[in-house]
Structure 1
């Protein structure tokens, strides 16, 4: 009789996160079903509780993982903020679930700040502030406001409401990216 060898903890966590990505991005936190995502992962509900403490813990781990990966894929470049916004746009287009997960978080858990993401945001704002003090970026907006505006411009196309999508459907993907770059340039006064 073959011996059962359980999967490594890291592999099981990764498998559960992958299944959770699809489940949460499609159904949100309230609509997601732990049983369904566990079955997709070839696991069970007990594993979700073991590794993540429950559905909320799994969502928090997933959101932290996905947003961190997106930010790592487009490291902040205050020397060329318009092009950085273009790269962040590219990442959100390649990973549409990131914007959906962030939206579900804002809708269903608006009072929950995830420490790792708070730290990343603080580091980015501090970097913008250093660039403003060095004269690389304009000072017309506070650092946190400037950073927020740039991020929102970068994700504009993936956050577009369905009601507005038809009116801009003719804008091609390369042009969409250029709109982001140009809008951030205009924001900076370039």
Structure 2
């Protein structure tokens, strides 16, 4: 039986994603990742050079997933925010990995994500110039606010969630929509 290197890499990335989301880079264990991926831990080092290299591959995959699933509709920024919020709710490991990346991997930005943020900010600036979006905030700041509002429910601490008392996903979506509408109108 021939080995499928790409399938092995993908299993390692999937297993790494779950392990890193649960434990972060420093708390993750290559033994657990290899067991879940049904491979030898030496393959982690073969394909990714190190545990940190696997984390970087997981991070790149996450960035590509988020960007690939996020619409480019500057005329419906509230809808974009709701879509992103839904993505975070459906994949709760995403906000956890974002947090771990920020805590453990430093401030080196992903070039693909930076290019996407620049392109989206430029599109918002064009919509602002055309009078479609409020100029109350610079386009770059507006996009940053939209992204973080979308992650609100998945990243808020339990005390805030207990006081906000909005366990219903539809209500949470509506809050995201209304807040972003207030920012862009």
Q: Which TM class, normalised by the smaller chain length? A: over 0.9
Secondary structure of 2:107 counterpart: coil
Q: What's the offset of the Cα at 1:135?
A: 2.1
1:138 aligns with 2:119: no
Cα distance in 1 for residues equivalent to 2:126 and 2:46: 42
* Structure 2: tracts of 5 or more residues without a match: none
Q: What's the offset of the Cα at 1:119?
A: 1.9
Normalising by structure 2, we get a TM-score of: 0.93
Normalising by structure 1, we get a TM-score of: 0.91
Structure (1 or 2) with the greater helix fraction? 2
CA contact (8 A) 2:12 2:44 kept: yes
2:2 to 5, 9, 19: 5
Q: How does 1:21-170 map to 2 (within 5 A)?
A: 21-170=17-166
Cα distance in 2 for residues equivalent to 1:113 and 1:188: 27
CA contact (8 A) 1:71 1:88 kept: no
CA contact (8 A) 1:85 1:153 kept: yes
> Who is 1:175 aligned against?
171
Total equivalences in the alignment:
185
For residues 47-69 of structure 1, the C-alpha deviation after alignment (integer angstroms, 9 at most, x for no partner) is 11222221112111111212321
* Structure 1: tracts of 5 or more residues without a match: none
CA RMSD of aligned residues (A): 1.4
CA contact (8 A) 1:64 1:117 kept: no
Cα distance in 1 for residues equivalent to 2:131 and 2:106: 35
Q: What's the offset of the Cα at 1:163?
A: 2.2
